Amino acid sequence: MSSNETFVLSNGMSVPVVIETRRGARNVTLRPKTVPRFEIHISKPWATSITFVMKFIESKRKWIEKIFDAAPAHEHIKSGDVIEFLGRPVEIVHNPQIRGNKYLNSDKTMLCIGGGADMFERRVRDFIRDEFLVTAKEIIRTTPREFWPTRLGLRDTTSRWGSCSSNGNISLSWRLAFAPYDVMRYVIMHELAHRKHMDHSAEFWATVGQLYGFGVERAKRWLTKNGATLHKYF
């Protein structure tokens, strides 16, 4: 694995090129990534040179730049900003005189973050991540116990919103915290359904529908259309 190469876009931005050499690969495959950062991922056969790879990327310049141009802009959070997570708008304020982080009102629409300014965004991220874990557990407990995971973990994945292993461990992307509550709940029910069906058969989707209720297709469409926006922070 190597990420020492860079590709310079027409706007002057240098994008890291991550190259993976795979035994048995026959062709060069290219995958631009926009979250959590811009990268170009390449998989190549052993015999293919780096020079050839970079020329191949150049031949795909227009396509690559079209993907990067369409990516949502990354936004930094500052004190006084209002962002939406766990289904409600929350004003984030910074108070360096306190050490902890806490909601300032009962309806949880104002969050105070303590500590130094250099750690502000990280503390906001960690707070939202922890709150999402609490909410996810609450949603899981609304389902029959036989669907509950053996273990629940959080990840920051870019290619999938959740996963369920054969031993019953479920992982969720904590960035679902930025999705509408019903969409977040849909992904959780989707993974819980895999506790009974480790496939996407008709029986599986019937189980998702039973756990979620009316509106599954609407939640799926929202995630397909807007999923990339869940990575605009941090």
> 24-82 pLDDT, tens per residue?
888 999 999 887 778 999 999 999 999 999 999 999 999 999 998 887 777 899 999 99
Mapped onto helix, strand or coil, the DSSP state of residue 195 is coil
Q: Provide the pLDDT for residue 158.
A: 72
Structural element, H or E, at residue 140: helix 120-140
d(C-alpha 164, C-alpha 72), whole Å: 29
Q: Provide the pLDDT for residue 145.
A: 97
Confidence of residue 1 (pLDDT cuts 50, 70, 90): very low
What is the tens place of the pLDDT at every residue in 164-212?
Answer: 999 999 999 999 999 999 999 999 999 999 999 999 999 999 999 999 9
Averaged pLDDT, 213-219: 96
d(C-alpha 153, C-alpha 132), whole Å: 11
d(C-alpha 127, C-alpha 130), whole Å: 5
Query: Any bridge partners for residue 85, and if so which?
Result: 88
Q: Provide the pLDDT for residue 213.
A: 96
Cα-Cα end-to-end distance for the chain: 25
> Per-domain residue ranges for the chain?
2-70, 123-231
Q: Among residues 168, 165, 93, 157, which one has the least CA distance to residue 123?
A: 93
73: tokens are 């802009």
pTM of the model: 0.77
d(C-alpha 19, C-alpha 53), whole Å: 9
CA separation, residue 34 to residues 105, 145, 229 (Å): 36, 38, 11
123-231 fold: Zincin-like (3.30.2010)
Q: Is residue 10 predicted with pLDDT exceeding 50?
A: yes
What is the tens place of the pLDDT at every residue in 85-100?
Answer: 999 999 999 999 998 9
Sign of CA pseudo-dihedral 82, 83, 84, 88: negative
Fill in the DSSP letter of residue 73: P
Written as one letter, the residue type at 187 is V
